């Protein structure tokens, strides 16, 4: 038996199953998972985009408002995962059909690939700053490729270990955040932050700030059921993910906005979404923390990409190792496309356009149309309740297309003052509700509950 074959068999035995699981995680455990998840440099740097286009105090209010609104969607989808035991992309079979769900799956892989590229570039820039300050050698592209190569290796061999140590990285980021807040407000009064002059021709409006914050939550919702299906109770799912995500996002984005304001008040050059801009005033140790946090989070992003493809169809198992190698190679090559950093806002708006309608449809379908009940037919490769027409629910596909097109139009053709993500979500929600109500079951119905209790398929239990 070759080394490749032995490695492949080992990874297949260790990889997560897409079938339903019985959760055991407490509220505190879910809280720590979601707290760690979004205490990363991408969220922090998102906060740097808003200053000085929008007043500092208003930015903080919009960060809180957009985060709370997005957390509501995240919690709703995550709780479906808790009740059924299924990950997010498996749940899309409910409204979209067994085959129709491949469209959201494909969109998810594209978005996760984009995230992996962005984070690799940021890790490369942070590492380049550290190395350049010590040796004089500088090549952000080389370091981005190096970082992503390490990430791919960790995603294949060490994702479980990274998941365990990620909360420790979160603790480091929290300590650094406290330090930066202390330095910033010890150097300048809160009133001084409010005196920063706005950009004469700002790119960001208050509505776009809210939209970007909301889209950030939407981007994390693709993993909501993946994490929350391990919750031991609905309360653990709701409270743990809701509070954990809200707290981490508000801290991270507010930290980025505060750091950028500090740089401006100190007379420095404010370059948005640039790690060096905020590393330089606070020291190389901040660069090390950024590098480590990106490596940990990006490992789980790449691993999530691979498992999404591996488990894309019920009853069919795509092999883990070749999938990881192919997607890993693409992610390494893409880490050299540094121009993507200049399109980060467009990237987030694209996420909102693609996934806000998807999650609106999922929430309507589960909580209203299916009345909080997905049965074991959702695990069938062919036939059953979720086969619809040749495996596709064209009503869901049509509602998704309408929502995505409107999100694009409202973002780029006729921009709305309050952004496009929330309106696209609401319109898709109402449209799918209207066209699907005739198929809603009549009479009393008994919720099915966790599918792990009703199926003979192998379940995964996480302690």
- Whether residue 456 has pLDDT greater than 90: no
Q: Which residues pair with 231 in a beta bridge?
A: 25
Interatomic CA distance for residues 310 and 315, integer angstroms: 11
pLDDT tens per residue across span 421-445: 999 999 999 999 999 998 887 755 5
Interatomic CA distance for residues 217 and 68, integer angstroms: 9
- Whether residue 373 has pLDDT greater than 90: no
Task: Yes or no: say if 37 and 220 are a contact pair by the CB < 8 Å rule.
Answer: yes
pLDDT value at residue 444: 55
Q: How far is CA 225 from CA 71, 80, 241, in A?
A: 13, 7, 10
- Whether residue 120 has pLDDT greater than 80: yes
Q: Which CATH architecture has domain 27-348?
A: Orthogonal Bundle (1.10)
Burial of residue 290 (CB within 10 Å: 0-12, 13-18, 19+) is buried
Q: pLDDT averaged over the chain?
A: 86
CA-wise closest residue to 241 among 172, 249, 107: 249
pLDDT value at residue 19: 67
Other Cβ atoms closer than 10 A to 431: 21
pLDDT value at residue 341: 83
44 upstream amide cis, omega within 30 of 0: no
Q: What is the mean pLDDT of residues 205-232?
A: 91
Interatomic CA distance for residues 146 and 135, integer angstroms: 17
Angle between the 140-157 and 320-334 helix axes, to the nearest 10 degrees?
170
pLDDT value at residue 353: 84
Q: How far is CA 369 from CA 115, 374, 423, in A?
A: 33, 11, 21
- Kindly give the residue spans of alpha helices, DSSP state H, lying in 158-205: 159-187, 190-193
Domain ranges of the chain: 27-348
- Whether residue 92 has pLDDT greater than 60: yes
pLDDT value at residue 318: 77
Q: Under DSSP, is residue 314 helix (H, G, I), strand (E, B) or coil? A: coil
Q: Which residue has the higher pLDDT, 414 or 165?
A: 414
- Kindly give the residue spans of alpha helices, DSSP state H, lying in 194-274: 206-221, 224-228, 234-265
- For every residue of 78-132, DSSP letters joined together read HHHHHHH---HHHHTHHHH-TTTTHHHHHHHHHHHHHHHHHHHHHHHHHHHHHHH
Token pair, residue 421, equals 């993500």
pLDDT tens per residue across span 268-280: 888 888 888 878 8
Give 15's pLDDT tier (boundaries 50, 70, 90): low
pLDDT value at residue 2: 53
146 backbone φψ class: left, alpha, beta (φ>0; ψ -120 to 50): alpha
pLDDT value at residue 440: 82
Stretch among 58-62, 422-426, 432-436, 459-463 having the lowest mean pLDDT: 459-463
Share of the chain above pLDDT 90, in %: 47
Interatomic CA distance for residues 337 and 177, integer angstroms: 29
Q: Which residue has the higher pLDDT, 309 or 257?
A: 257
- Whether residue 234 has pLDDT greater than 80: yes
Interatomic CA distance for residues 115 and 121, integer angstroms: 10
Stretch among 51-55, 168-172, 256-260, 328-332 having the lowest mean pLDDT: 168-172
Residue 274 φ then ψ, to 5°: -125, 115
Interatomic CA distance for residues 318 and 62, integer angstroms: 43
- Whether residue 26 has pLDDT greater than 50: yes
């Amino acid at each position: 038996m070759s080394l490749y074959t032995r490695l492949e068999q080992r990874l297949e035995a260790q990889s997560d199953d897409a079938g339903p699981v019985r959760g055991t995680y407490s509220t505190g455990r879910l809280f720590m998972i979601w707290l760690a998840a979004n205490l990363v440099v991408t969220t922090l740097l998102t906060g740097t985009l808003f200053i000085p286009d929008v007043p500092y105090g208003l930015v903080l209010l919009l960060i809180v408002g957009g985060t709370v609104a997005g957390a509501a969607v995240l919690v709703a989808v995550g709780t479906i995962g808790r009740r059924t035991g299924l990950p997010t992309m498996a749940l899309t079979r409910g409204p979209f059909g067994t085959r129709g769900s491949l469209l959201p799956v494909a969109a998810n892989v594209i978005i996760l690939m984009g995230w992996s590229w962005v984070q690799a570039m940021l890790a490369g820039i942070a590492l380049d700053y550290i190395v350049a300050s010590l040796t004089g050698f500088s090549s952000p592209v080389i370091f981005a490729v190096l970082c992503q190569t390490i990430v791919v290796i960790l995603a294949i061999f060490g994702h479980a270990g990274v998941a365990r140590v990620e909360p420790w990285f979160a603790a480091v980021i929290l300590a650094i955040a406290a330090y930066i807040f202390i330095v910033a407000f010890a150097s300048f009064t809160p009133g001084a932050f409010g005196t920063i002059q706005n950009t004469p021709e700002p790119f960001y409006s208050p509505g776009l700030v809210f939209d970007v914050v909301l889209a950030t939550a939407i981007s994390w919702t693709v993993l909501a059921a993946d994490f929350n299906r391990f919750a031991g109770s609905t309360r653990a799912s709701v409270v743990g993910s809701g509070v954990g995500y809200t707290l981490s996002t508000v801290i991270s984005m507010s930290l980025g906005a505060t750091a950028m304001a500090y740089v401006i008040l100190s007379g420095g050059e404010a370059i948005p979404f640039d790690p060096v801009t905020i590393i330089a005033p606070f020291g190389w140790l901040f660069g090390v923390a950024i590098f480590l946090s990106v490596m940990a989070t990006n490992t789980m992003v790449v691993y999530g990409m691979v498992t999404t493809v591996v488990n894309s169809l019920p009853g069919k198992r795509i092999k883990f190792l070749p999938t990881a190698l192919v997607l890993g190679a693409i992610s390494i090559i893409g880490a050299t496309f540094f121009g993507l950093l200049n399109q980060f806002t467009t990237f987030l708006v694209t996420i909102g356009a693609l996934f806000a309608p998807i999650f609106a449809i999922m929430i309507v379908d589960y909580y209203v149309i299916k009345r909080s009940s997905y049965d074991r037919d959702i695990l069938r490769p062919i036939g059953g309740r979720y086969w619809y027409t040749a495996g596709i629910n064209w009503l869901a596909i049509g509602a998704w297309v309408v929502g995505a097109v409107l999100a694009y139009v409202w973002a780029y053709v006729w921009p709305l003052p309050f952004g496009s993500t929330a309106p696209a979500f609401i319109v898709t929600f109402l449209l799918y509700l209207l066209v699907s109500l005739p198929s809603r079951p009549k009479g009393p119905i008994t919720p099915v509950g966790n599918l792990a209790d009703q199926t003979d398929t192998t379940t995964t239990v996480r302690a």
